Amino acid sequence: MENINFGPSADTPSHVLKIAPEAVAKLIKQAIAATVTPEIARSAVEGDAGALASFGRAIAVQEGHLLEAVIIALASTHPARLALTDLRLAVLPAAIEVIKRNRRTLYQGISLEAPPQTGATYHPDLVIADPRGRYALIIDVKRSLSGYLGGSKLLELQQRMTASGLILPDLLWRDHQRLAVETVGTAIIDGSKTSTDVSDGVWPLSRLDELLQIEGAARLAIESMEAFRDGIRKEWQTAIAAAVKGQRAAAETVAAEAHLSQPQTKEIAPRRRGRPPKARPSIQVGLLGPGLRPH
């Protein structure tokens, strides 16, 4: 068993990427649509704390799913290698003990019989097999390994991968049409890694050409992540604009309804100006009698 970078022509990709861009573009659109749903976007823009947290988690989850799907799509374009997914590899306790207690040189040539699917298992994101070169590569794809640092989680993951690699040759021979494998390697792809050092078995996206032996794989993988993030920003801006437009329309409706509900008072027409009224003659009041004038 070798940990990383094995097989002939590993430093010189033997296949030039030609087909994957269309498939990757479709994957990006699907990931954006699954991340920014109208309901989550509306609630998040309105300031709902739960919706904001859910939106942040959705971005991280969908980006991880997208990266895995992109790498599988890229690996599937190689004409001489098989990209296998949905494999369940047994993790034997005895294999873990062998790995923990011995140097790699003592167990890298061991191959164990693949048991029935019982007990602990490891589900790799991708297994690449090369029938002509008689080797296989177990790949685990991570959006980021930040949650694995500062503890034993990364080491435990690598041990599970190596232990499952001990039974992989027997499983491929038994369940995949007598596919013969003599060498098995493991590699973890970290989508956030910037260092190009792969001595620890962790690969950055910038070195995918070497790992997958496909020229152009690294560029397309990096561009797909950038396109996803750019798409999320645009959808978020669209959601904000829609929310602002809706708030304005609602405010205008409320104002119109308030105006209509106010009591309408009848306006009194101003008095028309003209000549002043004629003065009436003075009135005298006194005792009256027949033929007498008031006095």
pTM of the model: 0.77
Domain presence at residue 232: yes
- pLDDT of 278 > 80? The answer is no
The total domain count for the chain is 1
Q: What average pLDDT does this structure show over 1-24?
A: 61
Per-residue pLDDT at 9? 43
Residue 102: which of 1, 20, 209, 177 has the closest Cα?
A: 1
Domain presence at residue 176: yes
Domain presence at residue 80: yes
Domain presence at residue 82: yes
- In angstroms, the first-to-last Cα distance of the chain is 145
Domain presence at residue 292: no
Range of the domain at 69: 18-239
Residue 6: which of 164, 160, 210 has the closest Cα?
A: 210
Average pLDDT of every residue of the chain: 83
Domain presence at residue 95: yes
Domain presence at residue 131: yes
What residues contact residue 183 under an 8 Å CB cut-off, 6+ apart? 1, 2, 6, 7, 134, 135, 136
| Alpha-carbon span 228 to 216, nearest angstrom | 18
8-state DSSP, 2: B
- At residue 137 the predicted structure's pLDDT band, cuts being 50, 70 and 90, is very high
Domain presence at residue 203: yes
